[in-house]
Amino acid sequence: MKLVFWLLALCIAAVAVALAATYNSGYVLLVVQPYRIELSLNLLLAILLAVFLIGYFVVRLIGITLRLPMEIRESRLHRRREKARTAMLDGLKAFFEGRYAKAEKSAVAALELKESPAVNAINAIIAARSAHELREYSRRDEFIAAAENDAPEEIALRLVTQAELLLDERRPKEALQVLQSLRSGGVRQHTAALRLELKAQQQLKNWDAVLDLVGQLEQRNAFDRTLAEQLRCNAHLENLKSKAINPQLLKNYWQAIPAAERKDSRLAAASAHEHMALDECVTAHQIIEQSLDQQWDPELIGLYAECLGEDAIGQIKRAEAWLESHANDAGLLLALGKLCFHCKLWGKAQNYLEASLSLEPGHPAHFTLAQLNEKIGKPELAKEHYNKGQELVLKHLEVSRMGTQV
């Protein structure tokens, strides 16, 4: 388009000059002693135009000649950058496709082209992650060192990657040291680093630290409420196990859990279990009763009759109160049957146990009825219930075995 414009302009100028020459009869007299030169005005104008054009093209040629080395350098640099960019993109594509050997090769090729420090650091990290996936840990560490040498200011990129790869090797202590270096380096702690620290503390079984980190991440909306509750619940469950060496220590920890979290029936069941193991049946019953009053749970009611305290009659009354709103709960009827059996209330025990079996056949009810019939002098019925209970146990084991094989 530019060439067409100049050709059009040249044609217009030629026509204008031709027309001007037709009507112009003037001349120019040049006197340079002892010479006199007389030229037509048209010829002078033509000479001046020719001189101007020759001068213009000479100046352009000189400029092009002077710029040529720089343009060659820029062209080479551009080609090298394009080659490096292509290699980096190939490496990224191969990495996300799971072709780690190809990804490492492409990243190394990009590194050899010596791009800017930030780009070199990215290529080194791609190579390090690829080598890690290939279980080439020595090469991985060399690439991470290269990232540090080429771009020491890219602290977060390097250290977050290093911590993540260490955790994948299950080296949480070293990962935590790397994350501490990240904080010491003046990098503002971000969500990715907190996630990695959470994973490290989980691997180290530092459950108090896990609870603290879950709170921080939840404030940053790093995960949804369901996941936060699950992580928090798991940490509490592990802490309850570790505190179950001393009744007072266990009781203090349970009371320290926020009331809103104690409503979780999984925590209540675990706490009740641990208290029962320490023969703290009264505390276990209180935990179960408080939890069931807030939220009904079949597992908890199943535990209610497992640890029998001195006030079994009080337990029966409490359970019978629940029966008003859970009349068809087989677990509640079984618990009442066991409690009545413990208190030697044979008739009530039999009624509750048979009612439980009518809703949900299970070996615990059969075995308790077998014991009851032995107590009241009915060995044949006792034998029948033992056999039925054993059949259910064997059936359950067979189903579990088949499920494991699948």
Residue 299's pLDDT is what?
A: 81
Instruction: Look at residue 2 and tell me whether its pLDDT is greater than 60.
Output: no
pLDDT at 1 over 90: no
First to last CA, the chain: 74
Would you call 31 helix, strand, or coil by DSSP?
strand
Between 233 and 84, whose confidence is greater?
Answer: 233
Q: What does the pLDDT look like over 77-96, one tens digit per residue?
A: 667 677 878 888 898 899 99
Per-residue model confidence (pLDDT) at position 88: 86
Per residue in 262-284, pLDDT (tens digit) is 888 899 999 999 999 998 988 99
C-alpha span between 37 and 26 (Å, rounded): 14
Digit-coded pLDDT (tens) for 211-224: 999 999 998 888 88
Long-range contacts made by residues 356-360, C-beta under 8 angstroms, separation at least 24?
Answer: 356/330, 356/331, 359/328, 359/329, 359/330, 359/333, 360/330, 360/331
> pLDDT tens for residues 161-204?
999 999 999 999 999 999 998 887 666 668 889 999 999 999 99
The torsion region of residue 116 among left (phi > 0), alpha (psi -120 to 50) and beta comes to beta
The fraction of the chain above a pLDDT of 70, given in percent, is: 85
Write down the pLDDT at residue 372.
Answer: 92
How many other C-beta atoms can be found within 10 angstroms of the C-beta atom of residue 22? 9
d(CA 381, CA 385): 6
What is the predicted pLDDT for the residue at 310? 75
Q: What is the mean pLDDT of the chain?
A: 85
The predicted pLDDT at position 77 comes to 62
Distance CA 111, CA 145 (A): 13
Q: Is it the case that residue 23 has pLDDT exceeding 70?
A: no
On the question of pLDDT at 375 being above 60, the answer is yes
- Highest mean pLDDT out of 22-26, 66-70, 260-264, 399-403: 260-264
Q: Is the pLDDT of residue 69 over 80?
A: no
CB 274 within 8 A of CB 241: yes
- pLDDT for the residue 85: 83
Number of other residues whose CB lies within 10 A of the CB of residue 396 = 12
The pLDDT of 86-107, averaged and rounded, is 90
Q: Residue 14 has what pLDDT?
A: 59
In the structure, what pLDDT confidence band is assigned to residue 4 with cuts at 50, 70 and 90? low
Task: Give the per-residue pLDDT at 86.
Answer: 83
Task: With beta carbons less than 8 A apart as the criterion, state whether 225 and 231 touch.
Answer: no
Task: Give the percent of the chain with pLDDT over 90.
Answer: 47
Both tokens of 166, joined, read: 């260490």
pLDDT in tens, 292-344: 988 898 888 988 888 877 788 999 999 999 998 998 999 999 999 999 999 99
- Percentage helix, strand, coil, to 5, in the chain? 80, 5, 20
Q: What is the pLDDT of residue 110?
A: 86
Q: Is the pLDDT assigned to residue 17 strictly greater than 70?
A: no
pLDDT of residue 82: 79
What confidence score (pLDDT) does residue 187 get?
63
pLDDT of residue 36: 73
| Domains of the chain (ranges, CATH numbers) | 205-307 (1.25.40), 319-400 (1.25.40.10)
pLDDT of residue 302: 87
Greater confidence (250 vs 80) lies with 250
